[in-house]
Structure 1
C-alpha cells in the first residue's frame, strides 16, 4: 500500500465520520474528566466561569466540605447565570445577597451521590438535593441542538466532569427551588380556582399545605383539574361541583362524595410523569381506590379500560403543564374532569423487573444485566423486595438479567421486555424465601399466575416452592426447573398452566398457584418459600393477577414489552 493511497483512505474515513456526525442531531454531552482536583479546586481553575459560584460557596461555608473527601454531584452555574439570578433577587453582589437565600441556593445545586447523565430520564433524578427537593431532567432545544434541561430552568453546557470527590455538570443558569406547597402553588393560579375551593371545603387544602419534616411522609402527588377541564364536563363553578357530588351537604365528611373526589386526586408519594408510567396503578388517599395508568403514543392516560365489552376512554395528563415541583410534592394537570369509580376487579400483568431501584439505573434497565451483592443479613438493597440470607456467601446475590439477542437461551427467545430477575434459592445454604410487594390490586377474587423462564442448572437441580399472599399459603406449588407441559390453551388451563409470551418455547411457563380473594384495594405481598431442592438460576419474568371470571390465557407478551390478545 503506497503512501498516497493511505492518505486518501484516511481522508475519506474522516469525511464519512464528519458527515455522520453532521447528519445525526443528538444531545450535546461534552464529557470531561479530571481527577487531580476536587469540586472546589475545579471551580478555582476556571475563575472566568465560576468565580461567583465559588464566592457563594465561600460565603455560605460550603467550600470546605465540597473540597473534602466524598461523593457529590454539583450543578455549577456559570458567572453569567449567577449575575442574572442576583439581579432577579435584587442583590447587587454576592455579599449583598441574603445569606439564607444563598445557603438554600447551594443546597439545591448539590446531591450527595454521583449522578452522571447516563441515569437522566424524563422526570426526577433518583436522589433529592441537599435542600430536600428533587431535580427534574429532560431534553430541550438550545440554539438548534438538543441538550439536557434541568428543572426547565437551565441547560447543561458541559456534563460529567469527573473530579476527585464527585461529578460536576456545568449549567448556564441558577436553579431555583420551589418555595410554595402544593396547596399554595395551585391557589396562586386563578385557572384552578374551583379545584382549590374544593380542596378548602374538604379539608385537603391543609393536608396539601403541610411540609412534613419526615421526608418518608412528606411527599404527595396531585392530579389537578383546571376550570376549563371542569367546564368541559358542565361544571362552571364550585357550587356546581358541590351540587353534583356532595350528597351529604358536608364535603368535610369522609363519606361525602365530594370529599372522596378530592381524595381520589391525591396519590401517595412523589410521582413525576416518569414515575407514574412505571406502574400500572397508583394508590390514592381514597381508601382502597387506585388510579390506573397507560402510556399511549407518549401520552400518559389515566383510567382507560374496557369493562364487560364497554370501552371507557381515559383522561390524558397535559405534559407541558405537568411535573410541577412543590416543597411537599408534585402536581400534574389533567386535560379533562374525572372522578373515582367503584371498579370491578381488573387484571394486573406485573413485570417484576420494574423495581424502583432497577428503573432508576437508566444505564442498565433494558440495556444490560446488573448484579447486587448483599454484604450482610441486614443489607437490603431493595425497598419493595427482600429475600432470606444464605449461609453460602456467594449466593447472597440478586441479578437483573437482560439480553435481547434472539439466540440468547434465557431472555432472547421470548421473555417479556427481554429481561427477568434472578435469585438463588434452596436449602440449606441459599436463601429460603423471596418476597415482593405488588402494584395496587383492586379488591376481588383473582387467579395468580407465576410466569417464569425455566432453567435447570444441572441434571439434578430442583427448586420446589410454595407461594403465599399476605401470609396465606396458596394451594399449588411451582418449580423453577419445570418446563411448561404440551397441550392446547384450554388443556393447559385445565391443569393450571398457560403460555404467557408470544414464543411457543416451553421454557416460558405460566403456573397458576391458586385463587386469592383480596379484601382491600392496595399493594399486596407475595412470597416464594423454598420447600425442596436448590439452584442459582431462578428467573422470574412476570406475575399475573387475573379476575376469576376473565380469560386467563389470551393475553400474550412480546419481547418489546407490548402485548396482544389471541382471538
Structure 2
C-alpha cells in the first residue's frame, strides 16, 4: 500500500517557485555598500530622498542611537512615502504629527539585528521589530519585474545597503502596524460573518480578541472560512452551520461539535505561510487533533493526505487573502470548509522504499538501483529519511535497491528495499524515518526485512523507538525467521509477511505504541551491537492491536493476500 506524501518544503521554496512563475522574469534588487559610518550618516548624505524620515528620527529621539555603534536593520521610507503617511494622519508636517504615533512608526521600521534579503522568505522575518510585531515579506510582480513587498504596504526600492551599524532597505511607503485583534479584523469583514458568529457562540471570539501581555501566550493562528467557502458546502447561514454541528445545545461545551469545529481552526503560535509549510503538521486547539500541510506547486494545502490508498483532497489556503497580521497573531483564508475527521485506527502497511525523492526519478523507481549519499553531515537528500552521521564518510548513504530477479529483492514488496548501513565505529549509529499519517490509536509495530549477513560473522542487533518511546523488543537484521505456525510465530513476536515462505523474509514485532494524535510519526532504528551495510529494510507495519496481525501477506507486485 503506497503513501504518496508530498512533504512540506522549506520556507524559501515558495519564493523560488514565485521567481520561476510565468511573467516573473527577474527580481529587482539594488544592492550597495556605503562608506558611511552609520544609518543616520547615510540618511544625511541622501536628504533629497530621506529628509522627512531623518526629521522623524530626530524628533522621536532615535537619531542618537542610530548614530552610534550597533547592528540594526532599518526600513527607510522615502520622502514621498512619508508625505503620504503624514497626509493620512492629517498632519501638515513632521512637527504637527502626534509624537507617540511617530515613535511607534519608527520602532516598526527597526530590527535589533541585521537581516539581508536572503531572509526575505514568504512570511515573517526572523527578527521581531522594536515595536513588537513581525514584518511580513512577499513578492510582487509589475511589468515583468518582481520586487519584495513588506507588510503588503512598502515595496523595496533598494536593498542590503551596508553601513557601519547595520543594514538599510529603502521602501516606497511607510509601514503601518496592525492595530486590531484577529477577532476584530474578521468581524469588520462581512465576508466572514458566519465564521465570526461561530467564534462568538463557542467563546473563542474572546480569546481571539485578547492581546496577552505574555508574548509566549499571545500569538494565535486562525484558518478562517469565508461565507462563500461555507456556502459551497451548503451552509448559507450561521443557523445552518449550527444545526449541522451543535448537538448539545451548548456550543461552549468542549464536547459540542460546533466547538470542536472552531477549535480545529485555531493553532497556538504565530504562523505565517512560510512557517506553516516548514512543518508537516500543526496542533490545533482541539486536543490531539492536527492539521497536515502540503506544498504542491505553489499551493499550500490543509489535510491533503492518503489513507488506505485513497487520496483525500485538501483545502487550499488562498495566498492573496492569507498572512493577515493582527495584534495577537495572524489569520489565513481557507478556500473550502473542513472539519475534524474522526477515524477508527487503521492498519498502515508502509513501503519504506516508496518516497518522493526516488519516485521523482522514473529511470530508477521500480527499475534500477539508486544511491542517495550525504557528502556532509548537513546534507539531507531524503526529507523523510535521516540518519546519524557515520564517521566513515563512504557509509553515509541509503541505497534504493530494485530487482525482480535478485534473491535479495525478488520477493520484497514491489521488488525493492532500502539498504541502510548501520553500526559504529564507522557506519551511521541510527536511522530515523517519518511515517505517512497514522490514525490515533494503539498499534503493534512490525519491522519487515530481508535477512542478510555482509560476512559470516556479521551481527546487527537494533533497538527501535517510536516518537522517542523505546519499543519492548529488539530486532536483528541478521536473524532469520524462526520455524513455526502463524500462531506460534505471532506468540513470540514473529510473522511471515511475504507470499514467499523462505525464512530469509522476516517480520519482527518490536512492541506496542499508542498514538494520541493522527499525524505523521517518527520511527528510529538504533544499532546496539554489530555493524554492516547490508540491512535490507522492506516494510514497517503499524497494525491496531485488535486487528489481525498476520494477514494480509504481500506479493512482489503489491497485491495483498489473505491466506
Q: How many angstroms does 1:300 deviate by? A: 1.7
1:98 aligns with 2:98: yes
Per-residue deviation, residues 229-288 of structure 1 (Å, max 9, x unmatched):
111122121111111111011111111111111101111212222222222221110111
Distance 2:273 2:145 in 1: 24
Aligned to 1:140: 140
Matched-pair contact (CA < 8 Å) for 2:322–2:333: yes
Q: How many angstroms does 1:224 deviate by? A: 0.7
Matched-pair contact (CA < 8 Å) for 1:283–1:290: yes
- The 3 A distance-change label for structure 1 pair 450 and 255 is same
- The 3 A distance-change label for structure 1 pair 100 and 137 is same
Aligned to 1:56: 56
Distance 1:107 1:27 in 2: 28
Q: How many angstroms does 1:200 deviate by? A: 0.5
- The 3 A distance-change label for structure 1 pair 323 and 513 is farther
Instruction: Tell me the number of residue pairs that the alignment of Structure 1 and Structure 2 aligns.
Output: 458
Q: 1:444 aligns with which of 433, 441, 444?
A: 441
Aligned to 2:535: none
Q: Using the TM superposition, name which of 302-311 and 516-525 deviates more.
A: 516-525
Task: Provide the alpha-carbon RMSD of the alignment.
Answer: 5.0
Distance 1:438 1:111 in 2: 39
Q: How many angstroms does 1:297 deviate by? A: 2.9
Per-residue deviation, residues 323-369 of structure 1 (Å, max 9, x unmatched):
11111111111111121111345879999xxxxxxxxxxxxxxx997
Aligned to 1:164: 164
Aligned to 1:205: 205
Matched-pair contact (CA < 8 Å) for 2:293–2:302: yes
Distance 2:541 2:75 in 1: 44
Distance 2:137 2:478 in 1: 44
Q: How many angstroms does 1:145 deviate by? A: 1.6
Distance 2:97 2:232 in 1: 47
- The 3 A distance-change label for structure 1 pair 214 and 489 is farther
Aligned to 1:516: 513
Aligned to 1:474: 471
Aligned to 1:150: 150
Distance 1:146 1:302 in 2: 28
Q: How many angstroms does 1:496 deviate by? A: 5.5
Matched-pair contact (CA < 8 Å) for 2:460–2:478: no
- The 3 A distance-change label for structure 1 pair 489 and 173 is farther
- The 3 A distance-change label for structure 1 pair 305 and 50 is same
Aligned to 2:88: 88
Per-residue deviation, residues 404-458 of structure 1 (Å, max 9, x unmatched):
xxxx98569779xxxxxxxxx989xxxx99999999964224577999xxxxxxx
Matched-pair contact (CA < 8 Å) for 1:433–1:529: yes
Q: Using the TM superposition, name which of 170-179 and 119-128 deviates more.
A: 119-128
Which runs of structure 2 are paired with 1:205-224 in the superposition (5 Å)? 205-224=205-224
Per-residue deviation, residues 139-184 of structure 1 (Å, max 9, x unmatched):
1124542111111111111111111222111111111111111000
Q: How many angstroms does 1:69 deviate by? A: 2.5
Matched-pair contact (CA < 8 Å) for 1:290–1:440: no
1:253 aligns with 2:257: no
The alignment partner of 1:63 has SS state of coil
Distance 2:51 2:437 in 1: 50
- Give me the TM-score of the superposition, normalised by structure 2: 0.67
Structure 1: state its 5+ residue gaps.
1-22, 352-366, 373-397, 416-424, 452-461, 498-511, 535-542, 555-564
Aligned to 2:119: 119
1:195 aligns with 2:195: yes
The alignment partner of 2:64 has SS state of helix
Distance 1:435 1:229 in 2: 39
- The 3 A distance-change label for structure 1 pair 154 and 70 is same
Aligned to 2:34: 34
- Give me the TM-score of the superposition, normalised by structure 1: 0.67
- The 3 A distance-change label for structure 1 pair 546 and 218 is farther
Per-residue deviation, residues 22-67 of structure 1 (Å, max 9, x unmatched):
x992111111113541222222221111121122122222222223
Distance 2:166 2:479 in 1: 49
Structure 2: state its 5+ residue gaps.
1-22, 356-373, 380-387, 402-422, 449-458, 481-496, 532-538
The alignment partner of 2:177 has SS state of coil
Distance 2:540 2:116 in 1: 35
1 or 2 for the larger relative contact order (CA 8 Å, sep ≥6)? 2
The alignment partner of 2:92 has SS state of coil
Aligned to 1:231: 231
Distance 2:245 2:505 in 1: 46
1:265 aligns with 2:262: no
Distance 1:439 1:104 in 2: 46
- The 3 A distance-change label for structure 1 pair 309 and 100 is same
- The 3 A distance-change label for structure 1 pair 483 and 216 is farther
Aligned to 1:378: none
